[in-house]
Amino acid sequence: MFTRISRPRSYAPGPSGYPLLGNLPQFQRDALGFMLRMVQQHGDVVQLKLGPETLFLLGHPEHVRAVFLDRDATFSKGGRWETLKMLLGDGMLTSEGEAWKRKRRLVEPAFHRSQLSQLTRMMSRTTEAMITAWGEHADDGQPLDVCPWMMELALEIVVRALFSGDVTSDVQTISDAFMIAQRYISRITWDPVARLRSHLPSRRRRRFEEAVAQLDAIVLRLLNERRHSEPREDLLQMILDAGHGDEDRPLSPRELRDEVLTLMIAGHETTANALAWTWHLLSTWPDAARAIRDEVRDVLGDRRDVEFEDLQKLSWTRNVIQEVMRLYPPLWFIPRSVERDTRLGGVHMPRGAMVLVSPYVLHLDPRFWDNPAGFDPSRFNERPQPYTYLPFGMGSRTCLGRNFALMEMTLIVAMVVRAFDVARVPGHPVRPMTMLTLRPRYGIRVQLSRPASP
């Protein structure tokens, strides 16, 4: 008698793959192009194998709604986010259930509009300092790569928002340590062999642990300094004060470490990449940059300082930023684990499988966007179709820092465009690189000059 081998019971169309590795090589070679092709060729639910894992790539707004507005916890963060826990512990980004709810409740008030408005001056001053440094490049005609500048600027802003005071000396160390940690995590997130090996001692593993220890040391020092200083008016103070006097417990020292590190990391890398892509697109489309400059002149006149209320009026600038994040969503994939057998798009998905929502794939789908590959900020004069635009995610786990990021990016873009013409450096290659965030692989080199009429 032959024993019949029972095949797994889920089955969406999908590409063939390599033995053992499945579709991992195609994914690693060009994740963005691969995902786009798969949805075009196989439809809205595509079944992929990444090594031993089954993954369902989802391409329809209805699926986005089902996953993010999931009322009965069918989907969890689980799976892929586990690797990020090695760095962020149980911070808000990586935790689940009641633990997550409590943290979100405690930290969210620090991000309310009234709190954010108080950060305008700090953001403005920090940007002004960078503009002064950029002036030298404009004057001596040397091109520059905007990526490290944006990383430093976004990091400095989020660290200052959290801790106030002078944190300049820590910014470079945080940035370097995070880069090492991110490379390691991004590798083991997508490569199951690397993930297995990560349990063994290795040079990479040691460097990762050293980077995490450095980040820990800085955060713990800053928290300690605060314990011995007067209360301040910053986000950390709001978080420290939260949970006293009502039924919530305040965050413990360990929880504070995880939350502060989460905010620092989640709050700079994404923003910095969105800004870097902004300079790429504005240097390619100078008319869009000129329209920003006109708008800034109309709203600010001769005033130097940008006020919070001004930012609400810079609607074209905001459209540009939205369009940049459509074409280059900083978080290009949002994974979820299937917690119990379910059906989506007519496909059975077993517990333990992974679903992948890719803002990139949705943002470039011609069914939902006219001329999806084209740069057209005016498309954001109207609201996108529901669940087709998700740079900040959706539902209860939507980005906590959305308004912070939009405010910060609007301010930076307005101030820089007012100060400089930003032109492309001809011949410099521009390609996306899929790490945890979508980065420009070769940086974004631009030539700065002073505008003829500021």
Told to check if 432 binds ligand HEM by CB under 6 A, we report no
Told to check if 397 binds ligand HEM by CB under 6 A, we report yes
Of 291 and 405, the one with the shorter C-beta distance to ligand HEM is 405
The binder of ligand HEM chosen from 57, 266, 353, 416 (CB under 6 A):
266
**Rounded least distance, CB 395 to ligand HEM, Å:** 8
Contacts of 424 (CB under 8 A, 6+ apart): 280, 283, 284, 446, 447
Of 16 and 252, the one with the shorter C-beta distance to ligand HEM is 252
| Contacts (CB under 6 A) with ligand HEM, residues 274-313 | 274
**Beta strand extents in 194-267 (DSSP E only):** none
Told to check if 92 binds ligand HEM by CB under 6 A, we report yes
Contacts of 302 (CB under 8 A, 6+ apart): none
Find out whether 425 and 284 touch, Cβ atoms under 8 Å. Answer: no
The binder of ligand HEM chosen from 39, 57, 88, 405 (CB under 6 A):
405
Told to check if 270 binds ligand HEM by CB under 6 A, we report yes
**Rounded least distance, CB 447 to ligand HEM, Å:** 25
Q: Distance (Å, rounded) from C-alpha 72 to C-alpha 75?
A: 8
Query: Which amino acid belongs to residue 85?
Result: K
The binder of ligand HEM chosen from 212, 215, 399, 436 (CB under 6 A):
399
Told to check if 251 binds ligand HEM by CB under 6 A, we report no
Contact flags string 109-138 toward ligand HEM, x per CB under 6 A:
------------------------------
Q: From its phi and psi, is residue 172 left (phi > 0), alpha (psi between -120 and 50) or beta? A: alpha
Q: Distance (Å, rounded) from C-alpha 144 to C-alpha 32?
A: 27
Q: Please work out the total of residues on this chain that contact ligand HEM, with binding judged by CB under 6 A.
A: 23
Find out whether 236 and 101 touch, Cβ atoms under 8 Å. Answer: no
Q: Distance (Å, rounded) from C-alpha 450 to C-alpha 454?
A: 8
- Which range binds ligand HEM by CB under 6 A, 9-17, 213-221, 224-232, 267-275? 267-275
- Which range binds ligand HEM by CB under 6 A, 49-57, 224-232, 307-315, 330-338? 330-338
Find out whether 56 and 354 touch, Cβ atoms under 8 Å. Answer: yes
Q: Look at the block and give the residue holding tokens 């074409």.
A: 327
Of 51 and 391, the one with the shorter C-beta distance to ligand HEM is 391
The binder of ligand HEM chosen from 119, 158, 181, 354 (CB under 6 A):
158
Long-range contacts at 117-120 (CB < 8 A, ≥ 24 apart): 117/308, 118/233, 119/161, 119/404, 119/407, 120/306, 120/307, 120/308, 120/311, 120/407, 120/411
Query: Which amino acid belongs to residue 335?
Result: P
Contact flags string 334-363 toward ligand HEM, x per CB under 6 A:
x-----------------------------
State the residues that interact with ligand HEM by CB under 6 A. 92-93, 104, 158, 262-263, 266-267, 270-271, 274, 330-331, 334, 391-393, 397, 399-401, 404-405
